[in-house]
Amino acid sequence: MAMKGILRPGLVQIRVMDVEAALSHYVDRLGLYKVGSDAGRAFLKGADEFEHHSVTLVEADTPGMDFIAFKVMEEADLDHFEARVRAEGIAVAHIAAGEQPGYGRRISFVAPSGHTIQLFAHAEQSEPKPDLANPDIWPVEPHGMGARRFDHMQLNGVRVPETLDFFTRVLDFYLAEKVDDESGAPIAIWLTCGMKAHDVAFVDGGVPGRMHHAAFELADWNAVGHAADIITKYNLSIDLGPTRHGITRGRTIYFFDPSGNRTEVFAEGYTYYPDHPVRVWDKQSLGKGIFYYQRQLNDNFMNVVT
């Protein structure tokens, strides 16, 4: 598939109450690398990512997500998407290069769901990153759970049908899977801009702009088991897993950072092509869709968001 336009999730800014405690979670346990810091912020990345950083932890009074930024193929895409977003009557803000270290300019707007979405075209590279000359399988030996890269997010918000229309018609995402209510209206959508089963999911949560989880890619089912060992060894707060999703087919564990933000480690999942038909779940089958082995949802998963 010839990918252009929006390529992938590139950067998320997560609010935490204690940056040092969060670094223990995201670096020591999850396996990311700290590439820098400034007043109240720390910048992290996975070793399989080229860009300067993919996670910004920012000290705040409440947890949650400030924004998710997607990488576009080239500079002209920023102007292209700005015009399309403005044509919807949605305001677009400009964020100057350097606001995040190593990052070029970004455009920023609020999706119908209530979440701040950003796009960027350029970021400097930083270490560790994949080797290019006679490359080893990793540039540094993995530690902790061995998270390779930022993978996707689930965002709980409002106006899911309008969000689906906005992401597919304006931003050129594809709908891979959805859950419909009894009337056939979508209440949860899994959207992809590449060949992953999803790059971002939106769920009707009744409140705009909430973060359900940020997900990081592990190698395989064995790595998910290793992550579970680490969760128990260090007595981390767990939501559910190890298990598997029916939706996306991913292998998964959900657990919480010290501020209460949910983290997912995710492996595998099917390959998506843009000619694939949409997979549809009805509301009664949601338990099996989310937790394929347990076939029922838990209260934490449905109700805890930041």
Q: Quickly tell me which residue has 């997607």 as its tokens.
A: 70
- Both structure tokens of 99: 């606001």
Q: Does 22 bind Fe ion (CB under 5 A)?
A: no
- Both structure tokens of 257: 């950072």
| Smallest distance from Fe ion to CB 152, Å | 6
Active site residue 152: yes
| Smallest distance from Fe ion to CB 245, Å | 8
| Smallest distance from Fe ion to CB 74, Å | 28
Q: Does 268 bind Fe ion (CB under 5 A)?
A: no
Judged by beta carbon, residue 77 or residue 289, the one nearer Fe ion is 289
Active site residue 254: yes
Judged by beta carbon, residue 199 or residue 264, the one nearer Fe ion is 264
Judged by beta carbon, residue 13 or residue 154, the one nearer Fe ion is 154
Active site residue 143: no
Count of residues touching Fe ion (by CB under 5 A): 2
Q: Which residues contact 98 (CB under 8 A, 6 or more apart)?
A: none
d(CA 187, CA 202): 8
User: Among 26, 103, 245, 268, which one carries the catalytic annotation?
Assistant: 245
User: Among 25, 53, 213, 226, which one carries the catalytic annotation?
Assistant: 213
Q: Does 51 bind Fe ion (CB under 5 A)?
A: no
Considering only 264, 265, 268, 290, the residue that binds Fe ion (CB under 5 A) is 264
Helices (H), 24-119: 75-87
| Smallest distance from Fe ion to CB 101, Å | 27
User: Among 115, 264, 268, 272, which one carries the catalytic annotation?
Assistant: 264
Active site residue 276: no
Q: Does 199 bind Fe ion (CB under 5 A)?
A: no
H or E, element range at 4: none
Q: Does 217 bind Fe ion (CB under 5 A)?
A: no
Considering only 12, 215, 218, 290, the residue that binds Fe ion (CB under 5 A) is 215
Q: Does 151 bind Fe ion (CB under 5 A)?
A: no
Give 185-246 as a 3 state SS string: CEEEEEEECCCCCCCEEEEECCCCCEEEEEEEECCCHHHHHHHHHHHHHCCCCEEEEEEECC
Q: Quickly tell me which residue has 């399989």 as its tokens.
A: 48
Q: Does 177 bind Fe ion (CB under 5 A)?
A: no
> Residue 115: which of 96, 87, 132, 90 has the closest Cα?
90
Q: Quickly tell me which residue has 């997979």 as its tokens.
A: 279
| Smallest distance from Fe ion to CB 210, Å | 14
> Residue 263: which of 37, 29, 106 has the closest Cα?
29
CA distances from 127 to 3, 25, 46, 124, 178 (A): 26, 20, 10, 10, 38
Strand partners, 180: 186, 282
For residues 188 and 102, is the Cβ–Cβ distance under 8 A?
no
Active site residue 245: yes
| Smallest distance from Fe ion to CB 208, Å | 20
Q: Does 257 bind Fe ion (CB under 5 A)?
A: no
> Which residues are catalytic, by number?
152, 198, 213, 245, 254, 264
Question: Where on the chain is the footprint of Fe ion (CB under 5 A)?
Answer: 215, 264
